[in-house]
Amino acid sequence: MTKIVLAVNAMVSNSGRITEVRKDPVTYDDYYFTYDAKYCWEVKRTPAGHYRIWYFPGQLDTEELQDLAKWKTATKVRYSTEDLRTREARETFAELFRCVVEKFYGVEKHLDDIIQDGYPSH
């Protein structure tokens, strides 16, 4: 397994460290986020069903995190299931995409509310 797949697995396993999630208002398929409050990433699912992840080697400051235009022009390193072509990479990148989308929409809190309603404490 490549280092990027191992790193993405670690992000998925520690999804509580995924923060600052933003959705691109133009493409609707790109999500930008930080991991561990210091590593900046972008994740996307393509129309063909592939997953792409970009790592931003330079840390963006708080003001830049608010401005997606800064993210788009920053230097990035690209990883893709089109290039890696392994089942592990596809499953891992897909899981990260799901985690980031769920963070964006607050799904975990919604699920907690539903579970609490369905199983009230006695």
| Overall size of the chain counted in residues | 122
DSSP for 21-66, written as a single string: EEE-TTTSSEEEEEETTTEEEEEEE-TTS-EEEEEESSPP-HHHHH
Triad 94, 112, 118: Cα angle to 5°: 120
H/E segment holding residue 79: strand 77-80
Prediction pTM value: 0.88
pLDDT in tens, the chain (122 residues): 699 999 999 999 999 999 999 999 888 889 999 999 989 999 999 999 999 999 999 877 777 777 887 888 889 999 999 999 999 999 999 999 999 999 999 998 898 889 988 887 64
Cα distance between residue 1 and residue 4, in whole Å: 8
pLDDT at residue number 39: 93
Joined tokens for residue 87:
């089942």
Q: How far apart are CA 1 and CA 47, in angstroms?
A: 26
